[in-house]
Amino acid sequence: MTIIRPFLAAFALTIFALSVFTFVGLSPSSAHEVRPGFLKIDEISPGTYAVSWKQPVRSGAQNIAGLGLRPVFPASCEKSTDSKMRLLPGVLVETFTLICAEGLRGQAIGIEGLQKTITDVFVQLHEADDNLLHIRMTPEQPLQIFTGGVGLSNYLLLGIEHLVFGYDHILFVIGLVMLVSGLRRLVLVITGFTLAHSVTLGLSVLDVIYLPAAPVEAVIALSIVFVATELLRPEESRARLTQRHPQIIALAFGLLHGFGFAGVLSDIGLPRETGFFALALFNIGLEIGQLCVVGLCLGISYMARQAALTPLYSARAQTGIIMAMGGLASYWMVARTAQIIGF
């Protein structure tokens, strides 16, 4: 018995709701995930800091205000008037000098407007004595105090969130589950996807290989369209490779998804002395999020079978869900491609 039928039946409404939410509420690149902000603070002399503030902007936005986020420093700090702003693809960068008579260690800083978003902000303080401190701000905790420590666990949480809020990644994983029958083949497919994106994630973050984010995100959307197209074809007429060796498809597209995963780490960087561990924790976080998605699908599938929701098992319902998934991915692909060529 294949896994796809109970999976589709149980998860039909969930996929549809996710698709509608993403299509209506988020821009094409936001479907990938909401990238975190990054506040980098380097102490160039006692009490004087060079600050670089990166905040995400919505895809295609020409508004220099970005998401409207603003760092808030202690009252004893004074921001210089030589502030400079640059609008780069997907991110607004502001650089300025900050003078704090009492320093920043032990002081509270915040991000104004963060509580109105679903993104996080990583803050890195590099002190003059070479101490490196990290804190992670969330919509629930937009104000925190620099006390010390690198905070490597933040990278684990970031990996989980990156997968869970990466709707295009989720849809691709769901498509892979639909594509295979039997637990053994499912394990092989998910393992192939995991190994592939882990390789390109590491190579990209370590600057061994680089691909621009915009075309990568367009091809990620294309990968969902491909899987949806294969699912709509009768099993006996599917491409020989897809039918007999779906793990190879997962491996190939997993390489591309790895570049997408790397985007968030490229924005915030890795701690210099513990970069390898931070990268490993981020990747583990991705796998935890991925396993949660697969486990949730199978769990809901089991409950649906127990409830005998037979109408949801019809071929018409399955086809409708696959078409909705493919249609949404087609929209992302066209929109992202249009942004690349300047439309």
CA dist 270 and 244 (Å) reads 40
Neighbours of 204 (CB within 10 A): 21
In terms of domains, do 126 and 196 share one?
no
**Range ranked top by mean pLDDT from 222-231, 304-313, 331-340:** 222-231
Of 17-31, 61-75, 253-267, minimum mean pLDDT range: 17-31
Chain-centroid distance of CA 144 in Å reads 24
In terms of domains, do 86 and 27 share one?
no
Neighbours of 73 (CB within 10 A): 18
In terms of domains, do 146 and 185 share one?
no
Residue-level pLDDT at 2: 45
In terms of domains, do 26 and 46 share one?
no
Judge whether 127 and 48 are in contact, CB under 8 Å.
Answer: no
Q: Is residue 225 a part of any domain in this protein?
A: yes
pLDDT band at 200 (very low <50, low <70, confident <90, very high): very high
Domain that holds residue 173: 4-33+166-341
Q: Compare 131 and 116 and report the one with higher pLDDT.
A: 116
Percent of the chain with pLDDT over 90: 17
Work out the burial of residue 206: count CB atoms within 10 Å of its CB; fewer than 13 is exposed, 13-18 middle, 19 or more buried: middle
Q: Is residue 156 a part of any domain in this protein?
A: no
In terms of domains, do 124 and 221 share one?
no
From the list 253, 247, 257, the residue with the least C-alpha distance to 182 is 247
Residue-level pLDDT at 148: 60
pLDDT band at 237 (very low <50, low <70, confident <90, very high): low
User: Is 224 a residue whose pLDDT tops 70?
Assistant: yes
Looking at the structure of the chain, the number of domains it has is 2
In terms of domains, do 124 and 224 share one?
no
Judge whether 162 and 122 are in contact, CB under 8 Å.
Answer: no
Helix boundaries (H) for the chain: 4-25, 153-164, 167-179, 183-205, 213-232, 240-244, 246-268, 275-307, 315-341
Residue-level pLDDT at 12: 41
Distances (CA, A) of 62 to 55, 83, 87: 14, 19, 8
pLDDT band at 5 (very low <50, low <70, confident <90, very high): very low
Torsion of CA 253, 258, 264, 265, to 10 degrees: -170
Of 84-93, 244-253, 269-278, minimum mean pLDDT range: 269-278
Q: Is residue 259 a part of any domain in this protein?
A: yes
pTM of model > 0.85: no
In terms of domains, do 197 and 184 share one?
yes
CA dist 149 and 156 (Å) reads 15
User: Is 207 a residue whose pLDDT tops 70?
Assistant: yes
Q: Is residue 306 a part of any domain in this protein?
A: yes
pLDDT band at 194 (very low <50, low <70, confident <90, very high): very high
Residue-level pLDDT at 62: 47
In terms of domains, do 237 and 250 share one?
yes
Of 3-17, 45-59, 85-99, 158-172, minimum mean pLDDT range: 3-17
Distances (CA, A) of 127 to 27, 70, 188: 38, 22, 47
CA dist 7 and 45 (Å) reads 59
User: Is 212 a residue whose pLDDT tops 70?
Assistant: yes
In terms of domains, do 59 and 145 share one?
yes
Using DSSP's 3-state secondary structure scheme, residue 40 falls into strand
User: Is 199 a residue whose pLDDT tops 90?
Assistant: yes
User: Is 222 a residue whose pLDDT tops 80?
Assistant: yes
Mean pLDDT to the nearest integer, 227-241: 74
Residue-level pLDDT at 24: 43
pLDDT tens per residue across span 47-86: 999 999 988 776 544 444 556 889 999 998 999 888 898 8
pLDDT band at 177 (very low <50, low <70, confident <90, very high): confident
Choose one of 122, 151, 180: the last residue of a domain.
Answer: 151
In terms of domains, do 187 and 295 share one?
yes
User: Is 182 a residue whose pLDDT tops 70?
Assistant: yes
In terms of domains, do 19 and 53 share one?
no
Q: Is residue 158 a part of any domain in this protein?
A: no
Neighbours of 252 (CB within 10 A): 14
Alpha-carbon Rg for the chain in angstroms: 22
Q: How many Cα atoms occupy the beta-carbon half-sphere of 39 within 13 Å? A: 25
Containing H/E element for 125? Answer: strand 121-126
Q: Is residue 80 a part of any domain in this protein?
A: yes
Q: Is residue 160 a part of any domain in this protein?
A: no
pLDDT band at 89 (very low <50, low <70, confident <90, very high): low
Choose one of 118, 151, 184: the last residue of a domain.
Answer: 151
Q: Which residues are CB-contacts of 62 (< 8 A; sequence separation ≥ 6)?
A: 87
What is the DSSP code (8-state) at residue 138? Answer: B
Largest CA distance in the chain: 73
In terms of domains, do 25 and 91 share one?
no
Choose one of 151, 175, 199: the last residue of a domain.
Answer: 151
Residue-level pLDDT at 149: 57
Q: Which residues are CB-contacts of 9 (< 8 A; sequence separation ≥ 6)?
A: 301, 304, 309, 312, 313, 317, 318
Residue-level pLDDT at 126: 84
Mean pLDDT to the nearest integer, 126-132: 79
Q: Is residue 157 a part of any domain in this protein?
A: no
